[in-house]
Amino acid sequence: DIQMTQSPSFLSATVGDRVTINCKASQNINKYLNWYQQKLGEAPKRLIYNTNSLQTGIPSRFSGSGSGTDYTLTISSLQPEDVATYFCLQHNSGYTFGAGTKLELK
Amino acid sequence: EVQLQQSGAELVKPGASVKLSCKTSGYTFSNYYMSWLKQMPGQNIEWIGNIYGGNGGTGYNQKFKGKATLTVDKSSSTAYMDLSSLTSEDSAVYFCAMGGYWGQGTLVTVSS
């Protein structure tokens, strides 16, 4: 089974900051990597699919990059409404989620 | 607009079974897979399995074989998940998901 190691677990940042969240797979996942945002009490929302494709309706400040085993979600300029937990999901072989990154405002 | 509407919260006794539903609209049900996922507080989301709306073909996470049974009713564009022999470890929020669309989740609480 493919394991996903997500970092950091917790992140505190200021409005306007550039924020990056990382996921490392235990083996090559061929860019089959999605990113999700989950706010308290809500279902996860897909932000990015297949490493760098932006889901319709998601602000362009969200972007994804990576290849092989290493992937990154970047928020170019943090907004107050971005406070949430972020998860990665690999779907190259089965489906495995990262443990999540809780993002809050400093 | 694609919508996935899940059934309401369940309080069930240990050893019992429960059937969750996910009623869909806004897309051609028969053409897509529906996944089911489990989220427990403080733990990674887990993929339980998926089912093809066209023919009911299923794939399961080995961990959930024997625990979860996925079915569909094409006539009502609804997906179902049966959870059997429930224990406290099955207390969680369960989501259905199709592509980038998720249901709102169903809270299952197993308690005597």
pLDDT digits (tens, 9 = 90+) for B39-78: 998 888 999 999 999 999 999 999 999 999 999 999 999 9
Decide if A43 and B47 are in contact by the 8 Å CB cutoff: no
Mean pLDDT (whole number) for B9-29: 97
Among chain B residues, CA nearest to A53: B100
The model's pLDDT over B21-39, given as tens digits with 9 standing for 90+, comes to: 999 999 999 999 999 999 9
pLDDT at A47: 97
| Cβ neighbours of A46 in B, within 8 Å | 99-100, 102
Give the span between the Cα atoms of B82 and B89, in whole angstroms. Answer: 15
pLDDT at B43: 85
Give the span between the Cα atoms of A98 and A22, in whole angstroms. Answer: 10
Pick the residue of B102, B104, B107 with the most A CBs within 10 A to test the interface with A by mutation: B102
Residue A17 contacts B, CB cutoff 8 Å: no
Q: In chain B, what is the greatest distance between 2 CA atoms, to the nearest angstrom?
A: 40
Decide if B47 and A100 are in contact by the 8 Å CB cutoff: no
pLDDT at B55: 92
**Contact of A52 with A65, CB cutoff 8 Å:** yes
Give the span between the Cα atoms of A46 and B98, in whole angstroms. Answer: 11
Of A29-38, A86-95, B1-10, B38-47, the poorest mean pLDDT is in B38-47
Instruction: Report residue A24 as tokens.
Output: 């490392």
Decide if A97 and B44 are in contact by the 8 Å CB cutoff: yes
Residue of B44, B47, B104 lying closest to A99 (CB–CB): B44
The model's pLDDT over A19-75, given as tens digits with 9 standing for 90+, comes to: 999 999 999 999 999 999 999 989 999 999 999 999 999 999 999 999 999 999 999
